Structure 1
Amino acid sequence: MLFLLSPAKSLDYETPVPAEVPATIPHFEAPRGPSTELIRLLREKSPQQIATLMHLSDNLSALNVARYKAWSGRSTPENARQAAFAFDGDVYGGLDARSFTPAQLDWAQAHVCILSGLYGVLRPLDLLQPYRLEMGTALANRHGKDLYAFWGSRIADHLNERLAADRTPVVVNLASQEYFRAVDRKALKARVVECVFEEWKTDRYKIVSFHAKRARGLLARWAVLHKAATPRALEKFDLEGYGFDAEASAPERLVFRRKT
């Protein structure tokens, strides 16, 4: 069973990563691989074009143009850091990879996948160089008008490879719609289970974006801590007051609710 997460816009390259944490190379990173191809396209853009393409301020545009220029086809501990430690946002606050033991990091490495506009798919310990490229970006390329066309079935094919040994392959989608859209459902050979997180507000339950993002990371964290192997096991998820609501759920849509 694989758990899919979205990346974060915010990055943390300041907080030290413990020296004993291992690092791995992203699957799609290679001198002539997909990530390098995208960087080459981005390097052709001026700061003004990047600002328009990604709806960024001039300062953020200049920062990312500098990142594209500095990006190397070979990630090392000197120019990159492990993805689960580099991404800094609500999801990753919930995941809290820094608190994992070595054994828990190993399990996360085998079961947690982070979707990325630049890297396609990352494992938690894959080295990540600073970048900004959201999956919904309309970056024209030789495959089509945007990143969905660029990645095509490659992400789904990679997930299939990761799940090949599973008798009943399952993908637990904890990613946003923007990112999960990059997974070609026709090519994916696994059952997909969605997770929904709702808060009680006045007179009904509703999805609150801030809380839902953190909850996605929390569920991935719970799965790591308990080595969750089936969707049924996820029904016991109970971090930070959430509980499984059987009546609101369906086999392919697990609903977790809480009153705060």
Structure 2
Amino acid sequence: MIILISSAKTMSSSSSIIVPERTVPIFGAEAAGLMKQMLQYSPEELKEILKVSSRISLETILRYRRFFEPDYFGLPAILAYTGVVYKHIAPEDFSPEDFLYMQEHLRIASVGYGLLRPLDSIRPYRLEYDVQLPDFDSGSVADFWKPKLTNKLIEDILADDGILLNLASKEIRAAFDWKKLDREVKIVTPEFKTWRGGKLKTIVIYAKMMRGQMTRYVLKKRIRVPEELVGFGSEGFNFRPEFSDDKSLIFTV
């Protein structure tokens, strides 16, 4: 079973955690090409394009420039991203064997790098799927990635057991041919919902926390089939079979 999670906007450039190996991103050359294109924008343009503050816009320009420094090697993706999902994966107590297992069974949908393995070394960046690329007529970052990522993800899933555990946010679907993916492999999507006003609703912060904790649970316990996920429970969330089917596993609190 392959787990798919999303990248995060917040990133770090240092970590004291030791990993057993570092690998090279499969789409590293494409990532560098994207960063070169983004360097064509001014800080003022980036502020509008990325919908960020002036401070973050300037920081982003510096990240694009540093991307090409030859003596800067970055961090493994699982340590570089620092968003809520990654905090709840909590890789600081993973053993070398855990990291190697993770490398085989976890994939990260990345706006900047396309598709990553957790031990792929990456450099900080900031980007969005809907950004229009200067050298790609009428095309967005998602359009750039779509023909490249779909077949690679399918290849990785079929090389395993044909099952994708989809713990990524919905926005990543723009960078994949999701209908083709759904035809070629079995996709199981856990959803984490909270009762509000008599209805089940997705609260983003809780969903991110649970995606991280379920990723950790699957990796640490070496879960290989979705049926074993019914035993997962955390922060009051538990499996609800009455709301679930073979494609969606619903957990509520």
TM-score > 0.5, shorter chain as reference: yes
2-structure distance, mates of 1:11, 1:93 = 11
Query: SS at 1:175's partner residue?
Result: coil
Give the equivalent residue in structure 2 for 1:199.
194
Give the equivalent residue in structure 1 for 2:204.
209
Query: SS at 2:241's partner residue?
Result: coil
Q: Which of 23, 39, 45 matches 1:43?
A: 39
Task: Kindly indicate whether residue 179 of structure 2 is the aligned counterpart of residue 180 of structure 1.
Answer: no
Give the equivalent residue in structure 1 for 2:223.
228
Matches within 5 A, 1:62-81: 62-72=58-68, 78-81=72-75
Matches within 5 A, 1:102-141: 102-141=96-135
2-structure distance, mates of 1:73, 1:173 = 34
Query: SS at 1:142's partner residue?
Result: coil
Gaps of 5+ in 2: none
Give the equivalent residue in structure 2 for 1:8.
8
The structure with the largest helix share of the pair is 2
CA RMSD of aligned residues (A): 2.0
Gaps of 5+ in 1: none
Give the equivalent residue in structure 2 for 1:152.
146
Instruction: Check the 8 A contact 1:48/1:58 in 2, yes or no.
Output: yes
Give the equivalent residue in structure 1 for 2:236.
241
Instruction: Check the 8 A contact 2:231/2:239 in 1, yes or no.
Output: yes
Deviates more, 1:49-58 or 1:9-18: 9-18
Cα-to-partner distance string for 1:130-154 (whole Å, 9 max, x where unaligned): 1001223333543742112101221
Moved over 4 A (4+): 201-204
Q: 1:17 to 1:143 in 2, by over 3 A?
A: farther
Q: Which of 34, 44, 52 matches 2:48?
A: 52
Give the equivalent residue in structure 1 for 2:27.
28
Cα-to-partner distance string for 1:150-205 (whole Å, 9 max, x where unaligned): 012211111122123345x1111111111133121244221211111022446454
Q: 1:238 to 1:58 in 2, by over 3 A?
A: same
Instruction: Check the 8 A contact 2:78/2:118 in 1, yes or no.
Output: yes
- Count of residue pairs the alignment pairs up: 251
